[in-house]
Chains A and B, each alone.
Chain A
Amino acid sequence: MTSSQTTPIRFRLTFRKMDGIRFTGTLDLQRSLERTIRRARLPLAYTQGFNPRPRLSLGAALPLGLTSDCELADLWLEEDRDHGGILEDLRLASPPGLEFLDLTVVPDDEPSLQQQIVAAEYLAEIEPGLDLTEAKDRVGSLLKLKTVLRERRGKPYDLRPLVEALEIVSSVSTRTVLHMRLTAREGATGRPDEVLLALGLDPPDARLHRSRLILSTVKVPG
């Protein structure tokens, strides 16, 4: 049934992850996307071999509990269709909490999505808010440091080089919003909750949101 003559077409899907599904980890999210494609009756391509796997890959795993409006997935379809139609079919089949924003064709010889992603931007909304001076002090002192040694799952590492940018974007008495850009390469990924801890904040006090994924082939403005 798999037509091995035609080369599958590679698409890149941009989507938002909100609400209850933000507590779904990457493996389960992958499954949710596969099922969405099945409900949409789109001809998802499978790998060859004894145990065929759906050709669908997610970029830069989003930590559990975070919302996002910039998630990316690459998927391969056996046949080309009207792209607007594909996106519409996916939208109709989407589970609550996932919103499909955009679909584009990607040259099949580009590196994997995971390899293209170099950084990610996050917003952290902290409640109750910090005193503005206090907040600025903490951010300033963290940025001044050469190294910020932390430990994750028993392994020590330096968080500082992974923090590419960190600033307070707004602060009123009830909430403070931090913006951060963290390196997100394979083997060198900064976690936003670790940054909060390094700032002396309790991650459960913050609502974290991923606002942007930065790809190596994409020009970073500024």
Chain B
Amino acid sequence: MRPTDIDRKLERLLLTVQKPGRYTGGELNQIAKDWRRVPTRVAMIFPDVYDLGMANLGLAILYDIVNRQPDMLAERVFSPWPDMEAALRREAIPAYSLETKHPLNEFDVLAFSLPYETLYTNLLNLLDLGGVPIRTASRGEHDPLVIAGGHAVLNPEPMASFVDAFAIGEGEDVILEIVRCYQEWKGTGRPRLDMLRALARIWGVYVPALFEPQYLDDGTLAQVEPLFPEAQLPVVKRIVPKLPPPLTRFIVPYIDVTHNRIPIEIMRGCTRGCRFCQAGMITRPVRERPVAEVVEAIEQALDLTGFEEVGLLSLSSSDYDEVLDLVREVSRRFAGRRVGLSLPSLRIETFSVELMDLLEGQAHRGGFTLAPEAATERMREIINKPVTSEQLLTTAREVFRHGWHSLKLYFMIGHPSETMDDVQAIADLCKQVRDIGRDEIGGRVKVTAGVSTFVPKPHTPFQWVACDSLDQIRAKQARLRRELRGPGLKLNWNNPQETQLEAWLSRGDRRMGEVILGAWQRGARFDAWTEHHDHEAWMQAFAASGLEPAFYTHRERPIDEVFPWDHIDAAVSKRFLTEDYLWSLEGRTRVDCRERCFACGILPRFAELRRTHPGEVWECPEVRTPSRKKVEVIPLVPA
């Protein structure tokens, strides 16, 4: 269908759906190039609704990078909400790009962002709506190249049958290498497989069709066998040695979206080593942006967008070396511009309260958020988040003293070896915090416990751990619901069935692809949305595939089990993860790795990069000795 036809049909249709502003494109700072004059067209796809997708920083960065190339264009695609999907299907309108309304199957490359697993069925749905064959194996020479990146693809196997190539790790550099590789192949008349084999030579690219998993009788993986010479294992994640200057020209939606703000990443990676945290493990090494660069970027972005809020993003803001300088400089420089600043993920210490004080000034007092994750010291030692309860209570007191009424505390249930006493402690701690609040500010105090359920993620020290069963989770949640009642207390929790789905999808092997396909065929979509979550569809898909759900989630793994993601190297070694897991069983903790390097594997893996990027750029120790390889290429100077 031609773009003009799509436009004409949309004209009639948009007034019949909710929030039509999701589907028009044309916003400020959008880049719409002349389709006919640009040879290579890339669709940047976030397979969820516009409102969420527009908050995805990764997608915005890659959109900018690709559009900077004169011979490439990038356009955005998001999932239609179910009402719009029904309208599109009824009118036979394909999934289209917002910029120029081209159907998906007219693009050269479809680049999906997969930050979390519950987007998988939406990816399949978009391929289907866009007229692209669902399976890699069914795609021909004229079909688009389907690639995917983001945190979820650190275990690419569940989606291996549907995605041609995965970009493992950071996308800033690899995206162009992938598109260039496609350009070299396009029009040569050579088979598609040639292109896939060439892609596999790029650092960070995993092409599943070039490998075959083999299983043992017990259903676990024996090995992943390379089928072609280009298929080298392991596939090492891609990183950028130094963070490039931040994006500042953000698209400004016409409508209200999830985050109406300028996102500026101040730091990538985390030195803390919480054992449940996948992001903390897979985004190493820690790299910071200089204060001056961040401040400059905020200034530019404010001028270009007019947003009234700036989010300074990182996994642990307090650990940004010059956080105080940053906050002071930002408050000074933008005073008078009526800019709200948020600094998420602050440590549990009174310094955090001082930081927030500086940031927010006296005028506005929203909520304050802290994430103790567990309520007993024993539990916090197991997960390696060694904060004392006293520290938490002292910080909470400061929060209330500084004028906040509302304190949100994030916890997780289902940590390894957790007992009902540990769960009860969550409730007790929340009440203690509430009582402190009453002491300080009286009846206005509000304590919200956000209690999610732990999922043992790939590439973390807890990857061997079994998930709690539905019954266990329900019993723990029931205890919390019973205990956390009454004035000043509020409890949020997750549907255990949704947690279970997240666990299957993140821990699955290549066979899980059939379950995902089956669930999508049975109507599963928007699995991350409680109102759309369809447990029945998933259970039927499991039954039809002959796979056993509990095999993936409720089995404690032997220490030497081969995992479906072991051939993907996140550069934190399995040896380190194993040691850390064993330490957790003994309740042994590790300090911040800036104080002492624990040899997680990053430095040996990226020694050369670290050597060529010395100093403050990384938080890891410096590598001064030139590697042997480097010595070999130094020419001998005759005396």
Contacts and interface: CB of A to CB of B under 8 A. Distances in A.
A211 to B, nearest CB: 19
A108 interface: no
B255 A28 contact: yes
B24 A95 contact: no
Interface string A163-189: 000000000000000000000000000
Interface in B272-320: 302-308
A204 to B, nearest CB: 5
B254 A95 contact: yes
B244 interface: no
A46 interface: yes
A64 interface: yes
B263 interface: no
Nearest to A32: B254
Nearest to A207: B11
Interface in B28-48: 28, 30
Interface string A12-32: 000000011101110110011
Contacts of B30: 96
Given A28-B256, A64-B15, A65-B14, A23 B306 contact: no
Contacts of A97: 26, 254
Interface stretch (A34-42, A110-118, A131-139, A149-157): A34-42
B26 A34 contact: no
B22 to A, nearest CB: 9
A20 B15 contact: no
Contacts of A93: 306
Contacts of A51: 364
**Dominant SS among interface residues on chain B:** loop
Contacts of B305: 35, 39
B338 A95 contact: no
Nearest to B13: A204
Given A24-B21, A27-B256, A95-B252, A38 B15 contact: no
Nearest to A46: B338
A24 B364 CA distance: 29
A1 B336 contact: yes
Interface range for B = 20 to 34
A90 to B, nearest CB: 12
A38 B27 contact: no
A203 interface: yes
Contact of B308 (A36, A38, A205): A38
A191 to B, nearest CB: 13
B16 A96 contact: no
B12 interface: yes
B20 interface: yes
Nearest to B339: A38
Given A95-B28, A204-B16, A23 B254 contact: yes
Given A34-B306, A35-B252, A65 B20 contact: yes
A195 to B, nearest CB: 16
A28 B254 contact: yes
A139 to B, nearest CB: 23
A38 B26 contact: no
Interface in B205-264: 252, 254-256, 260
Given A35-B307, A38-B306, A38-B308, A65 B26 contact: no
A96 B28 CA distance: 6
B307 A204 contact: no
Nearest to B304: A39
A187 B363 CA distance: 36
Nearest to B28: A95
B335 interface: yes
B541 to A, nearest CB: 36
B53 interface: no
Nearest to B260: A31
B25 interface: yes
Contacts of B302: 38
A83 B16 CA distance: 41
A19 B26 contact: yes
A96 B27 contact: yes
- Counting chain A CB atoms within 10 Å of each CB, which of B256, B303, B306, B307 scores highest? B306
A39 B303 contact: yes
A20 B24 contact: yes
Interface in B103-120: none
Nearest to B257: A28
B27 A23 contact: no
B254 A20 contact: yes
A31 B261 CA distance: 13
Nearest to B307: A35
B336 A23 contact: no
A188 to B, nearest CB: 24
Given A35-B305, A39-B306, A24 B254 contact: yes
Contacts of A32: 252, 254
Contacts of B16: 204
Given A65-B14, A65-B20, A203-B15, A21 B254 contact: yes
B307 A23 contact: no
Contacts of B26: 19-21, 96-97
B21 A1 contact: no
Nearest to B30: A96
Contacts of B256: 27-28, 31
Contact of B21 (A23, A41, A46): A23
A36 B255 contact: no
Contacts of A41: 303
A203 B15 CA distance: 10
A215 to B, nearest CB: 27
Nearest to B25: A20
Given A21-B254, A65-B20, A97-B26, A36 B338 contact: no
A25 B24 CA distance: 13
Nearest to A41: B303
Contacts of B337: 38
Interface string A189-210: 0000000000000011101000
Contacts of B363: 50
Interface in A94-116: 95-97
B308 A204 contact: no
Contacts of B364: 51
B100 to A, nearest CB: 13
Nearest to A208: B15
A51 B337 CA distance: 15
B505 to A, nearest CB: 34
A41 to B, nearest CB: 8
- Counting chain B CB atoms within 10 Å of each CB, which of A50, A204, A205 scores highest? A204
Nearest to B338: A46
Contacts of A19: 24, 26
Given A23-B20, A24-B254, A35-B306, 7 more contacts: A20-B25, A25-B21, A27-B256, A39-B306, A96-B26, A204-B13, A205-B12
Give the 3 A-B CB pairs with smallest separation, nearest first.
A35-B306, A20-B26, A20-B24
12 contacts: A1-B335, A25-B255, A35-B307, A36-B306, A39-B304, A50-B363, A95-B27, A96-B27, A203-B15, A204-B13, A204-B15, A204-B16
Interface of B: 11-16, 20-21, 23-28, 30, 252, 254-256, 260, 302-308, 335-338, 363-364
